[in-house]
Structure 1
Amino acid sequence: MNFIKTALFGAILTGSMSAAFADIKIGVVTSSSGPVAMVGIPQKNTIALLPKTLGGQTVRYISIDDASDPTASVKAVNKLIKENNVDAIIGPSGSPNVMAVIGTVAKAGVPLLAPVGTSSAVLPMDAQKKWVFKTTQNDDLIASALIQDMVKRKIKTLGFIGTADPYGDNWNKVVTSLAAKNGISIVAKESFQRQDTSLTGQALKLIAKKPQAILVAAPGSSAVTPQTALYDRGYRGQMYQTHGAALDQFLKMGGNKVNNTILAASLMLVIDEIPNSNPSKAVALNYMNNYKKLYGSYPATFGANVYDAGLLLEKAVPIALKQAKPGSLQFRQALRSALENTKNLAGTQGVYNMTPTDHSGFDQRGRVMITVSNGQWKLLK
């Protein structure tokens, strides 16, 4: 009888453990086609390099391409939540896409790890944005470095051109505020659509105001068009770019027209010049080398934003598993709390220290000053 009781107890315990160790499901939404594909393709490719287990449990990644369309992003997120019952979502690739899905993930109580540029995804913090964690540097961290460089170069007048979407809009706000505090006057502001192929009108208006420098706030390939338009019409002032331009295609598409550009961005662009003491160098090199083994070339920094999402989940999931089972609201709530309390996690581009009011978590270690010299990224010295 005791043997039977012991066997029954063992069977019940085994069944409970099997339920407790159900697969974790992570949705991944990327723009691997459409206008944002230069950002989305390396992000989709990076899924193969994400952790195969989280907290000792098998993880299943469910990938959807939103074709760069915010409406499709919402449909994809709804599908992942309602049909796949995912425990968290990585993505989407574009800032407008992320802004479109925040309400959906918040209502369902699903943590979103957003690999996008705009800090408006997490700021100002509110009841909805508390479900969003951003795996890139906030705009003000990058912008403050650019403004500091302008002050050092005694630049007093600045032109601004950005995308007519949340990315460009937030950069406009951040730069306007920082410039005013540092005695820099923004003498002209222009905007454009990411898919625009001709920016002659905007370029001529900017040049007419004779700014000493111009800042372009645009992600991916859209960062190139304003700068080449300005160059073709004779502008030779100092050009600045945001971390949205941090991809090798910027160099290839821009050619000699983007030489001497200055940006603050990921150390991955100049990894060979980064000292070994930097806590992110080994993490970045591991990602870059594994990506190259798989695909034959190094990844754009945008792919690293998805890789870092995997690192954040790898640290947070074991904590959440102590409180609830995957697939439940309680698990997602515990996961959100664990992500929010991430401390001293070295990622590919900086060190994460999340707080209830800071869901990006980067400090100055999350940026380096870079310039374009003879078609190559170089540390700015």
Structure 2
Amino acid sequence: MCLLLAVAPAAAEEVIKLGALFDLSGRAAFIGTPTKLVAEMVVEKINAEGGINGKKIELVIADTEADPAKTASIVKKFIYKDNVVAIIGPTLTDTGMNVKKVVDEGKTPIFMTVGGDPVIMGGKYGPFEWVFKSPQRSSTAVERLFIYLQEKGLTKVALLSAADGFGKDGEHWMNELGPKYGIEIIARESFGTRDTDMTAQLTKVKNSNPQAIIAWTIGPAGSIIAKNKVQLGIDLPLFQCHGLPDPKYVELAGPASEGDRMPSTKLMVADELPDNDPQKPVVQEFIRLYREKGYDQQFPINTHSGYAWDAIMMVANAIKQVGTDKAALRDAIEATTGYVGVSGIYNITPEDHNGLGVDSMVMVQVKNGAFTLAE
């Protein structure tokens, strides 16, 4: 009996705990829920291959409910009660911003799966020493979009942006980068993420005579804009943000989505990638595993699908190198170079806690109800 009792705690020590918090309910559950499934999928793969230095990963999963205050409470529990080594998530920029101070005080690395840049910006945005993120920066997506607009000679645009942290971040970078690419924003309108009609905003931007319309939001709002544009008979190209390359967008917008373009991870056009692209085999293997699990039946692959995979893989690679001391782990994550992921090739630096460049993105368009490389 004594021997058995002595063995149990030792076995427990062989587990590496990672906190994982996503929107499993709330306005971004359509992103958070499949992100959780991918997190479980990559952990299962790592554990099946022997874990990290012989130790298995255990995910401690929680639902943020898209609530910034609740998210901060969960992170405190992860750090001070669950004793996690690192944290993956959350889903939204607003919730991510609310935990920056918590992880900084708790000296625990967090690899976020949010879109907005402020989570890895300092100054007025708060410390980011312990914060990393796997999705492309909004600035990178804006730059990829502006390069395309410049190539097409579309220099005068109207902007519709969500009145949340993500929408404001996109607008900030368009203001910042517009002059560099000769793009002028001649009209601006905002909307709530839960609004169900944007005809008033679209009518105003139409009257400014832009050459194109840019919408910066995630979720159903983007599809509503596409439908309202067609209903109003506005014959202008519509460009969405990097959060909307998703079969759900096409499903919700229907025929109104045809021709819409947006920056995207290469995941959405895997079969169109050249064979010499280093990401192609990684992306194809991810798709194979995802489909084997049957996840695509309920959650078709979208541009968000690989974010948790990349975040956990980079954390696991860092643990493999330096172990589970949090300070050493943070430093190892920050030194990540040349990691070929689903969402891009990551080269993280002390100044850039994302590490993805414009070359990690492609422009896609909806053609015959599916995503393809933009023409």
Same fold (TM over 0.5): yes
For residues 201 and 234 of structure 1, the distance between their equivalents in structure 2, rounded to whole angstroms, comes to 14
* CA deviation profile, 1:17-48 (whole Å, cap 9, x unmatched): x5996421101101121111111111011122
For residues 162 and 116 of structure 1, the distance between their equivalents in structure 2, rounded to whole angstroms, comes to 17
- Using the TM superposition, give the Cα deviation of residue 127 of structure 1 relative to its aligned residue in structure 2, in angstroms: 7.0
The 1:89–1:155 alpha-carbon spacing in structure 2 relative to 1, beyond 3 Å, is same
> 1:24 — aligned with what?
16
* CA deviation profile, 1:158-208 (whole Å, cap 9, x unmatched): 111111111111110111122223332211111112111122222222122
Q: Gaps (5+ residues) in structure 1?
A: 1-13
- Using the TM superposition, give the Cα deviation of residue 59 of structure 1 relative to its aligned residue in structure 2, in angstroms: 1.3
For residues 291 and 151 of structure 1, the distance between their equivalents in structure 2, rounded to whole angstroms, comes to 36
The yes-or-no answer on 1:351 pairing with 2:345 is: yes
> 2:366 — aligned with what?
372
Asked if structure 1 preserves the Cα contact closer than 8 Å seen for 2:247 and 2:301, the reply is no
* CA deviation profile, 1:42-77 (whole Å, cap 9, x unmatched): 101112212322233111101111122222211221
Q: Secondary structure at the match of 2:313?
A: helix
* CA deviation profile, 1:196-247 (whole Å, cap 9, x unmatched): 1122222222122121111111123332222222222121211111111021
> 2:132 — aligned with what?
133
> 1:212 — aligned with what?
211
Asked if structure 2 preserves the Cα contact closer than 8 Å seen for 1:215 and 1:239, the reply is yes
Q: Given residue 202 of structure 1, which amino acid in structure 2 is its aligned partner?
A: Q
Equivalent residues in 2 for 1:1-381, closer than 5 Å:
22-50=14-42, 51-52=46-47, 53-124=51-122, 128-297=127-296, 298-321=300-323, 326=324, 331-381=325-375
Q: Gaps (5+ residues) in structure 2?
A: 1-5
Q: Secondary structure at the match of 1:243?
A: coil
Asked if structure 1 preserves the Cα contact closer than 8 Å seen for 2:121 and 2:128, the reply is yes
Asked if structure 2 preserves the Cα contact closer than 8 Å seen for 1:220 and 1:246, the reply is no
For residues 302 and 102 of structure 2, the distance between their equivalents in structure 1, rounded to whole angstroms, comes to 29
Q: Secondary structure at the match of 2:275?
A: coil
Query: How many equivalent pairs are there?
Result: 360
* CA deviation profile, 1:242-282 (whole Å, cap 9, x unmatched): 11102110111111111111111111111111122211121
Q: Which stretch shows the higher mean deviation, 195-204 or 99-108?
A: 195-204
> 1:10 — aligned with what?
none
Give the TM-score taking structure 2 as reference length. 0.91
Asked if structure 2 preserves the Cα contact closer than 8 Å seen for 1:216 and 1:227, the reply is no
Q: Secondary structure at the match of 1:245?
A: coil
> 2:3 — aligned with what?
none
- Using the TM superposition, give the Cα deviation of residue 300 of structure 1 relative to its aligned residue in structure 2, in angstroms: 2.6
Give the TM-score taking structure 1 as reference length. 0.89
For residues 21 and 342 of structure 1, the distance between their equivalents in structure 2, rounded to whole angstroms, comes to 27
The 1:85–1:296 alpha-carbon spacing in structure 2 relative to 1, beyond 3 Å, is closer
For residues 272 and 349 of structure 1, the distance between their equivalents in structure 2, rounded to whole angstroms, comes to 15
- Using the TM superposition, give the Cα deviation of residue 375 of structure 1 relative to its aligned residue in structure 2, in angstroms: 1.1
Q: Given residue 361 of structure 1, which amino acid in structure 2 is its aligned partner?
A: G
Q: Secondary structure at the match of 2:305?
A: helix
Q: Given residue 363 of structure 1, which amino acid in structure 2 is its aligned partner?
A: G
The 1:339–1:127 alpha-carbon spacing in structure 2 relative to 1, beyond 3 Å, is farther
Asked if structure 1 preserves the Cα contact closer than 8 Å seen for 2:101 and 2:126, the reply is no
For residues 137 and 350 of structure 2, the distance between their equivalents in structure 1, rounded to whole angstroms, comes to 15
Percent identity between matched residues is: 27
* CA deviation profile, 1:301-357 (whole Å, cap 9, x unmatched): 323100111110121002221xxxx4xxxx111111000000100000210111000
